[in-house]
Structures are given as structure tokens and as C-alpha cells.
């Protein structure tokens, strides 16, 4: 009996380990940036286009759910704009998704509740209402997280873009040509920032004033680092000072600011490690250090 139980337990452990390895390898391959870049080169934006076409069908459904407050509409529109959704019907699509989730989740729960006969009808209705509430709340949380992730990608790409911009300007290129060159260089490594810089270059070529095009970059990104760069470039264009010197000074100040931020984070590590040490390492240390002595004392008193 014990041999059979040990064999079954061992087989279950091996199966769980194999399943974990398979899932982990799939996740690693799916998240591999090289594979994502090659997929983007082979089929550029195909999944995004299909998803956009499917989402556009939800726009008429969400129009009747739009908030009446103009401030709330402006806030959600700004979040969608920062998240990269620049279509005119983005707000309607967003609320259409909320309507679909608010209906689909309770229906899904209603079907699953058939397999739980111990639940009363009141509990089923209450949990269905909770599912509908989640369907209305989850898109807002997803949108905020998407904005945070996109701004993080832009923030991580900004130092490389700034260094390339300084090199291009010092090499003799004008501002528009330098921005175009930086956008081409960052097309695959940092596509989000490259797209925003390409928009600035297209607006300049279309005849939009350079200050207006740069202010549009600030509006589309919402980052304080880019806001400082845009303000500096606008002042340079307005007063006619040298762009290369201005960018060199700003790059040096930006490196100092990033160094200060890194030092600040490093100084906080000691405080943040207190709780993991207390709740994770100290119990194991006390068990190893004091455990044998405590067992010997208990054995002595039992005699």
C-alpha cells in the first residue's frame, strides 16, 4: 500500500514538474523580444488590425453608456490617448467593451452556477451582480495599467533617443532631420517612441509649426522628461540659440537626474529588505540555530 501511494505521488510530482516546465517554456518563447520583433517584421500589425476591426463593431453599443460629465469624458479620452488609442471612436469602443463584459461575465457565472447546487438563488444573483460590476470596473483598471506600461516603455527609451539626438545634431543635421534619423534608428528597439518621433517629423514636413509639433509630442506622451526636453527645444527655437549646446546640457542634466534616482532607490533597499528578512529569513534562521537546542531542552524535561 505504501509503495503504491509513493509511486502515485512520484508520478503526480513528475507530471506537475513537466507541466510547469512546458508552461514556462511557452511563456518564455511568447515573451521573447526577438521572436516578437521577427513576427512584427513578417506580419506587421496583422493581429492589431484584426483586433481593431473587431473592436470597432462595439462602438455603437457603447455610445449610450458614455458618461454625461464632460470632465469624465475628457479624463477617459486622455487616458485612451496616452494608451495609444487615437481613433475618433476609441471612447465608444471602450464603453462597448464594458457593456459586453458586464453582460458576458454574469451569463458565464450563471452557466457555471449550475454545477454548484449548494448555492442558493440569492447567492447566485448576488455573485452575478458582482460579476457585472467587475465587467464595468476591469476595463478601467486595464486601461490605467496599459498607460503605465506604455509610459514606462517611453521612459526607458528616452535616454537612448536623447543620446542619438545629441549625436545627430552635433554631426550637423537639422532638428527635423535629426528627429527623423532617431525615429529610424529606434524603429525596432523602441517602437513606441519611434512612432511618436515619426509623427513629429511628419507634422513638420506637412507645414505644422515646429513648436506646435513638439508640444504635440508632449501631449501624446505625458512624460515629465519629454516635457522638459520640449520646453527646452521650444525656447531654443524661439530665441535662436544653438540646439547642439542645449541638447548637450540637457543630456548631462538628465544623466545626473537618473543617477540621483538610482542612488535614491539604492538607499531605500535596506528599508525595503526589513520585512522579507523578518518574515522569510529570520524564522528559518531561528529554526536552524535554536531548533536543536530547544529539542534537547524538551527532551531533558521529558525525562
pLDDT digits (tens, 9 = 90+) for 164-183: 888 888 888 888 888 889 88
Q: Is the pLDDT of residue 50 over 60?
A: no
What is the rounded average pLDDT of the residues 12-32? 68
Of the candidates 80, 89, 98, the one whose C-alpha atom is nearest the C-alpha of residue 222 is: 80
What is the rounded average pLDDT of the residues 290-299? 81
pLDDT digits (tens, 9 = 90+) for 112-162: 777 777 777 788 888 888 888 888 888 888 888 988 898 888 888 888 888
With 0-12 CB in 10 A as exposed, 13-18 as middle and 19+ as buried, what is 247? buried
Q: Is the pLDDT of residue 9 over 80?
A: no
Contact criterion met (CB below 8 Å) for 101 and 136: yes
pLDDT at 55: 54
What cell was used for 279? 518574515
Q: What's the whole-model pTM score? A: 0.67
pLDDT digits (tens, 9 = 90+) for 218-252: 888 888 888 888 888 888 878 777 778 778 888 88
Amino acid at each position: 500500500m505504501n509503495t503504491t501511494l509513493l509511486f502515485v505521488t512520484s508520478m503526480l510530482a513528475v507530471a506537475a514538474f513537466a507541466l510547469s516546465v512546458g508552461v514556462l517554456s511557452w511563456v518564455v518563447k511568447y515573451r521573447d523580444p526577438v521572436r516578437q520583433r521577427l513576427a512584427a517584421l513578417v506580419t506587421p500589425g496583422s493581429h492589431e488590425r484584426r483586433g481593431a476591426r473587431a473592436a470597432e463593431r462595439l462602438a455603437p453599443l457603447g455610445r449610450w453608456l458614455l458618461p454625461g460629465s464632460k470632465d469624465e469624458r475628457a479624463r477617459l479620452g486622455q487616458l485612451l490617448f496616452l494608451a495609444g488609442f487615437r481613433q475618433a471612436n476609441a471612447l465608444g469602443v471602450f464603453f462597448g467593451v464594458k457593456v459586453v463584459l458586464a453582460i458576458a461575465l454574469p451569463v458565464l457565472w450563471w452557466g457555471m452556477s449550475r454545477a454548484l447546487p449548494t448555492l442558493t438563488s440569492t447567492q447566485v444573483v448576488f455573485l452575478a451582480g458582482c460579476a457585472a460590476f467587475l465587467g464595468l470596473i476591469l476595463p478601467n483598471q486595464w486601461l490605467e495599467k496599459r498607460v503605465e506600461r506604455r509610459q514606462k516603455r517611453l521612459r526607458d527609451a528616452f535616454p537612448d533617443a536623447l543620446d542619438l539626438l545629441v549625436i545627430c545634431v552635433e554631426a550637423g543635421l537639422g532638428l527635423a532631420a535629426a528627429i527623423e534619423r532617431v525615429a529610424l534608428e529606434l524603429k525596432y528597439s523602441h517602437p513606441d517612441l519611434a512612432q511618436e518621433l515619426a509623427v513629429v517629423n511628419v507634422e513638420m514636413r506637412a507645414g505644422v509649426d515646429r513648436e506646435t509639433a513638439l508640444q504635440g509630442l508632449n501631449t501624446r506622451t505625458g512624460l515629465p522628461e519629454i516635457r522638459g526636453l520640449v520646453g527646452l527645444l521650444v525656447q531654443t527655437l524661439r530665441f535662436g540659440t544653438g540646439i547642439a549646446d542645449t541638447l548637450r546640457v540637457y543630456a548631462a542634466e538628465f544623466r545626473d537626474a537618473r543617477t540621483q534616482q538610482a542612488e535614491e532607490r539604492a538607499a531605500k533597499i535596506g528599508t525595503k529588505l526589513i520585512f522579507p528578512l523578518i518574515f522569510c529569513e529570520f524564522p528559518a534562521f531561528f529554526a536552524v540555530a535554536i531548533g536543536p537546542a530547544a529539542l534537547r531542552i524538551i527532551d531533558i524535561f521529558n525525562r
